[in-house]
Amino acid sequence: MPSLEHSGLVEMFREKPALAPHLLKLLFHLDLPSYATVAVVEASLDQLTPVEFRADLALELRDAQGALVLSIVLEVQRDKDPRKKYSWPVYLVVARAQKQCPTIVLVVAPDAEVAAWAGERIDLGLGRGSLDPLVMGPAVVPVVTDQAMAEQETELAILSAAAHGNGPQGLEVALAVLGALGRYDHEHAAVYFQIVYNALREPMRRALEALIMERQAEGKATFPAFAQQLIDRGKREGLQEGKREGLQEGKREGKREGRREGLKAGKLEGKRDLLLRLLARAEIALSEEQRTQIQGCTEAAVLDQWAENVLGAKRAADVLR
């Protein structure tokens, strides 16, 4: 079932359709056909058989006369799933038959091991045909540490942080994208910060928190409102706890706990925001009581489950079950 991080990456490409062909040219150096528009289209690929295959996202490129020149089937893959080696060829041939134009499968896989698996050639049978998915993974996505580049190519910087955040330059990558998130509104910044933060392993998370606090204390960096709220909340709660203890050691521990609690609260807030966006996109209305139920939920696993329930749901009751 898709996680909130999975959904967040899909939404990034959905809300900026031109991103996929832009990255195909930038990262894969593909000579795409001349096109004037890019649009998100229905991702359900129905067959004559009673089986429905649904890709994460489907995009159409059209030329200035409105003719289809390329169809892109986009999949976000965070784990290995053997079934995908059978469904990806279906996506390709069905979309190609429906659209009657060249079609490619593009897989976004931030994890190196998953990316290598996704990039393996898929033999369709007896070596008589094959599919080679294009995979946007760590081997293709550059390490973005330059702040100016992160601000110019923020979506690429987000993918870079997800792919390289635990590497030798992980801190620089995470800080670059964090500084670039200020151009987004609170809702989007929260989701993208969550994608980056959740991609980091525990030691890197702690190192990032410590470095942010250090740079803030020295006045060397400013961060978007979302991250700033987490940092400031951690400071306030930590100092309050330290005063109650009345001991210097207690104050230091309070600051650390404050940072942890602040980031935990921010992560939950990001999950709630994305869930509300998914409900709005699915045109599922919420009563005031149901909206209060979502805003009051403090269990990450429950919010994840509700987000998964949105797919195929018709009523809010089907989601919040």
Q: In the prediction, which pLDDT does 181 show?
A: 87
What pTM does this model have? 0.70
User: Computed from CA positions of residues 272, 5, 92, 83, in that sequence, does the dihedral angle turn out positive or negative?
Assistant: negative
The Cα–Cα gap between 316 and 321 comes to 9
**Token representation of residue 56:** 């994460």
pLDDT tens string 34-44: 999 999 987 66
Range with the largest mean pLDDT of 51-55, 149-153, 244-248: 149-153
* CATH fit for domain 4-136, picks 3.40.1350, 3.30.70, 3.40.50, 1.20.120: 3.40.1350
Q: In the prediction, which pLDDT does 49 show?
A: 38
Domain with CATH 3.40.1350 in the chain: 4-136
Mean pLDDT over each residue of the chain, to the nearest integer: 83
Question: Mean pLDDT, to the nearest integer, of 11-15?
Answer: 92
* pLDDT above 90 as % of the chain: 46
- pLDDT at 100 exceeding the cut of 50: yes
Banded model confidence at residue 142, pLDDT cuts 50, 70, 90: very high
pLDDT tens string 242-268: 445 554 554 455 555 555 665 667 678
Q: Say if CB 212 and CB 204 are below 8 A apart.
A: no
For the ranges 4-8, 50-54, 308-312, the lowest mean pLDDT is seen at 50-54
219 CB-side CA count, 13 A: 0
Question: Mean pLDDT, to the nearest integer, of 121-149?
Answer: 95
Banded model confidence at residue 225, pLDDT cuts 50, 70, 90: low
Write the DSSP symbol of residue 147.
Answer: H
